[in-house]
C-alpha cells in the first residue's frame, strides 16, 4: 500500500479495477473529458479484464475511489520490443494535489516494467498544460508529434 505524498496518516490503496467499480470509473472518465454511462464503463472494464495487454488501476482512500490510470502494451516493429502507453490518468478534483497522480504513475510504470516494456509513452491534449508540466516533473520527456484521424462513418 502506498502513502500519499505529504500525508503519511492517509493511506492510498492502488488496486486493479473490477466490474463493480463502473460508476466510479465512469465519473473519473467524465472528469477527464470522456463521459460515459455506468453501463459503458462496465463494458470498458470488462474488456480490460479480458485483455492481458491492458491494465486499469484505481486509487482509493478509505474505500472511496479517487483516481485511475489505464495502460496498454503492444509490440513495436520499429523498436523490436514491447512498448506501453498510458491511455488515461485522472484524479478526482476533491483529491487533487495530494500525490495520488504520482503514485498511480509510479505503479503503472512498475506494471510496464514487469511486462518487459522498454518504453512507456503518454499523450496529452495540447490544452492540458498542467498535465504537461506534471509529466515533465515526473521524468517524462517530450517526444514525437502525434497525429490522429477519426475513422467514423
pLDDT in tens, 45-104: 999 999 999 999 999 999 999 999 999 999 999 999 999 999 999 999 999 889 999 999
- Burial classification of residue 66, based on how many CB atoms lie within 10 Å of its CB (0-12 exposed, 13-18 middle, 19 or more buried): buried
Separation CA 78–CA 58 (nearest Å):
32
Residue 42 has phi, psi (to 5 degrees) of: -60, -40
CATH architecture of 2-137: 3-Layer(aba) Sandwich (3.40)
> What band does 148 get if pLDDT is binned at 50, 70 and 90?
confident
Q: In what order do the strands lie in the sheet with 54-61?
A: 2-4, 7-16, 54-61, 64-76, 81-91, 119-122
Does this model's pTM top 0.75? My answer is yes
91: its cell numbers: 484524479
- pLDDT > 70 fraction of the chain, expressed in percent and rounded: 93
How large is the C-alpha radius of gyration of the chain? 16
Grid-cell match 522498454, residue found = 118
Q: In the prediction, which pLDDT does 9 show?
A: 60
Residue 74: helix, strand or coil by DSSP?
Answer: strand
Q: Going by C-beta distance under 8 Å and a sequence separation of 6 or more, which residues neighbour residue 132? A: 124
Amino acid at each position: 500500500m502506498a502513502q500519499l505524498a505529504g500525508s503519511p496518516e492517509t493511506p492510498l490503496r492502488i488496486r486493479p479495477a473490477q466490474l463493480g467499480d463502473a460508476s466510479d470509473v465512469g465519473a473519473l472518465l467524465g472528469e477527464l473529458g470522456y463521459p460515459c454511462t455506468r453501463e459503458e464503463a462496465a463494458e470498458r472494464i470488462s474488456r480490460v479484464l479480458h485483455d492481458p495487454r491492458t491494465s486499469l488501476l484505481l486509487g482509493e482512500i478509505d474505500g472511496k475511489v479517487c483516481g485511475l490510470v489505464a495502460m496498454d502494451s503492444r509490440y513495436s516493429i520499429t523498436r523490436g520490443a514491447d512498448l506501453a502507453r498510458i491511455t488515461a490518468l485522472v484524479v478526482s478534483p476533491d483529491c487533487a494535489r495530494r500525490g495520488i497522480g504520482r503514485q498511480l504513475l509510479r505503479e503503472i510504470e512498475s506494471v510496464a516494467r514487469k511486462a518487459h516494456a522498454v518504453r512507456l509513452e503518454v499523450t496529452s491534449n495540447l490544452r492540458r498544460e498542467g498535465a504537461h508540466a506534471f509529466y515533465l516533473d515526473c521524468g517524462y520527456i517530450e517526444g514525437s508529434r502525434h497525429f490522429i484521424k477519426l475513422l467514423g462513418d
